[in-house]
Structure 1
Amino acid sequence: MKLKHIMLLVFIIAVAHLYAYMLLTYEVQPGDTLYEIARRFDVHISTILDFNDIENPRLLRVGEQLIIPQPDGLLYEVKKGDTLTYIAKLFFTPLEPLLKANNLTRDSWVFPGQKIFIPASIINVFAYEPIEKPLRWPVYGYISSYYGMRIHPITGQRKFHTGLDIAAPEGAPIFAAGRGTVVFAGFDKGYGYMVEIMHDDGETVTRYAHMSHISVYVGQHVYAGDLLGRVGSTGLATGPHVHFEVRRLAADGKSYPRDPIAFLPTRDLIYYVREYKHDGTQSGGK
């Protein structure tokens, strides 16, 4: 790799202390693929897609410049009212390593617009264990609308709601509810920016709608807890949230919606995680 193709940028975060993390600007070379670039810089493919607006992930343009974080990780822009504990929960990570990564303490203040860096090594660091349920919660938030009949918040008409609306701040991460293959990633009318996953059981399909940014591509295989994109309010939406939909294939080959609650751990365990330690200790909570 030629040095002229890599320019080192340093972002300084100042909150009582100075902390620096690096972003590389890489210029796409002939023959480059997203997979090869990700492997070269030891980052996830979804990380590169999260930091960049790539028109066609399967066909990179020579000369295109990509921002790549070092080490692998994600950024979160603090919103009004956010706390460090809340931000840790958004990324399903313990608080202490998040503080350490940003050279902060429990007493540190955060302010709107501040950028918090979350290393990939601590995102979902606790392997999430759905308790006797096949899926995990895709985002940390509160349920703003349940599955079933409702008055549509925009049209005012009584209509069947085919999913679960989970409210969360703009830019919060959205994770895969289970292992599978991305079969749709793009814009779809009222759904806005949406990702659809066909799960490995060959019968279950999940949808994640109203995204502000998509961080996967069609054909990509994902695991439970992998980043899919960011919370937004695209399409028909009154505010930032994820419309989470679970569908099951029927004998006619079509998929039909099911109540997501039946596939998820109880709401009280949205942040339940089991830490894999030799002593078998656990961590969890609302």
Structure 2
Amino acid sequence: MLNSDQGRARKQRFKERLHVLHDTALHRKLKQHLPAAFNQRWTRRHWMHASLFATIGALVATIVPGFSHTIDSPYSVSHSTLALPLPPLSLERQQQTPGDSWQVLRVQRGQTLSNLFDQAGIPATVMHQVLEHPGVRESLTKLRPGAEIAFDLPLSGELRTIRFDRDADNRVELSLAGDKITETVSKRESSTRRVVASGEITSSLYAAARKAGLSPSAIATMTDEIFKYDIDFSKDLQPGDRFSVVLDETWREGEKVDTSKILAATFSSGGKTYSGFRFDRNGKSEYFDASGRPLKKSFIRMPIQFARLSSSFGARKHPVLGKMRMHKGVDYAARTGTPIMAAGDARVQFAGTQRGYGNVVILDHGRGHTTLYGHMSRFGKIKTGQRVAQGTVIGYVGSTGLATGPHLHYEFRVNGVHRNPLSVTMPPPEPLQGAELAAFRAQTAPALARIQGMEKLIYADASPAPDAKAADTATAKAGKPVKSNRG
């Protein structure tokens, strides 16, 4: 028993000794990592430093929370949630008044009416209901790129009204109420401005005309209607040639929609000035020179484009019959289906099949002049007795009748006698006379004055051409003095 107690006492002393050694080792290790001041006995100087640091810490702990509150307060306010009521719906929206919810879509290239209804979220059944309304299908199924179509869609999402332009002057609104559709047509207001444009050619006529503000349609009017008989625009133009035009611009809803109506034009080329003035005769607009003579010739020499002369006028061996026969016209070889134009204004005297001519058209131009067009593959949209204008397509090249290949057989007759179409002297067009001539001079004088005033400002050093002098004389006869463009 004694030995057991002694063993326990010995173990207890051993554990206490281990604790002492462990505490001593920790103390030494901590002492190595502490500053020197902590490993020594503190002096009065140490206690003063400690007291100073404690005082500063207390002050910081007191002041900083105040600054923290001052700085953070805006953020806490900005993140707070407020219950703001939404503005009430307008009375118009509550009552779903038409006009408060229009969606306007502009037709893009390749888009169909079905695409537009899908884009607006309108069912196809509604689209078919709209198309069944009389007169709508033709307008809505031929929408051109750039055209606008508008849908009035209220809060309910059901189509209430559809709006579109039937033509250049009329706007249509269709109001839907169940199965009932009400149509309203309103006029689109337009205005006209008369302007003068002038340009000088440096590289090309088209570039100069576009720079002067002319539209492609106005350029085509100048080249294909007014000056086509006097100027070869593919060969005759030179840098320095100039032009001036008086035209009417049509504006609709702030947009310029038409500039093709040229009232007067002058073109100076090769030292000569040509002029053309628009005037209505017998209900038809034509262009005349300053003396009142039509610019359009009575006949065009070649009633077919893109063709070559394959047989001339005169005696020859017939390619089919093999005999010498008089060839009473000229032949133009061309591909089957090439359009054939009327050589001049005329009445259709005959359109049908006639012996070796095959499908043939005979036109009566008046004053004993007729023309014949043979071997057609098919006719144009003409019939016997109908009036046709110069350039109207009366048929298409073929090889019907006695023909070895597709070509046009063209004859020109004066009082029943065949003449060579390539050399015959064409009858001059009928000039304006009497009251028409007086009205023409009175109408064209202001336009000519505007052109001359414009050219005097732009081309002050330009000398007048013979035609300009003639224009001055014609205007003076009408009692309307104008300013000349003599520099």
TM, length-normalised to structure 2 = 0.28
Larger Rg: 2
Q: Which has a greater percent of strand?
A: 1
Q: Which has a greater percent of helix?
A: 2
TM, length-normalised to structure 1 = 0.47
Greater relative contact order (CA < 8 Å, ≥ 6 in sequence): 1
